[in-house]
Structure 1
Amino acid sequence: MTYLIDAWLDRPHPYLRILHRETGEVCAVLEEEALDELRDQGDLDLAGLNSSEPVVLKELVRNLFLFCYARALRPHGEVH
């Protein structure tokens, strides 16, 4: 599967979406709170988002998916 990263980080309410390249289906969405958490953890790699290297982008997408899944498994209201 191939994915696209659609990120709007320099706006009042930033977001990042991972889209399935062939269908355009939204596979994951990170909004302001999640992006802030990633930044606080040092896990939001802005250089990686601008990379054209497939290996870098593949690792970035993998880490974003893992973050989304881990966040979804937390009890509601729990923040790390």
Structure 2
Amino acid sequence: MTYLIDAWLDRPHPYLRILHRDTGEVCAVLGEDALDELRDQGDLDLHGLSSSEPVVLKELVRNLFLFCYARALRPMGELH
């Protein structure tokens, strides 16, 4: 599968989406609070987002999916 990263980080309410390249289906969404958490952890790689190297982008998408899954498994009161 091939994915696209749709990131709007320089807006008042930033977000990042991972889209399936062939269908346009939204596979994951990271809102402002999730992006803040990634930044706080030092795990938001802005250079990776602007990279054109497939290996870098593949690793970035993988890490973003893992973050989303880990966040979804947390108990409701434990978002940070």
Give the TM-score category using the shorter length.
over 0.9
**Distance apart, 1:79 and its partner CA:** 3.0
Q: What is the identity percentage for the equivalent residue pairs of Structure 1 and Structure 2?
A: 91
**Distance apart, 1:32 and its partner CA:** 0.1
Give the Cα separation in 2 of the matches to 1:31 and 1:79: 12
Give the Cα separation in 2 of the matches to 1:77 and 1:59: 29
Instruction: Please provide the CA RMSD for this pair.
Output: 0.6
Q: Give secondary structure in 1 for the equivalent of 2:19.
A: strand
**Distance apart, 1:77 and its partner CA:** 1.8
Give the Cα separation in 2 of the matches to 1:40 and 1:55: 24
Q: Give secondary structure in 2 for the equivalent of 1:65.
A: helix
Q: Map Cα deviations across residues 16-45 of structure 1 (whole Å, 9 max, x no partner).
A: 000000000000000000000000000000
* Gapped regions of structure 1 (runs ≥ 5): none
Give the Cα separation in 1 of the matches to 2:63 and 2:9: 17
* Gapped regions of structure 2 (runs ≥ 5): none
The aligned length equals 80
In structure 1, the residue matched to 2:58 is 58
Per the normalisation by structure 1, the TM-score is 0.98
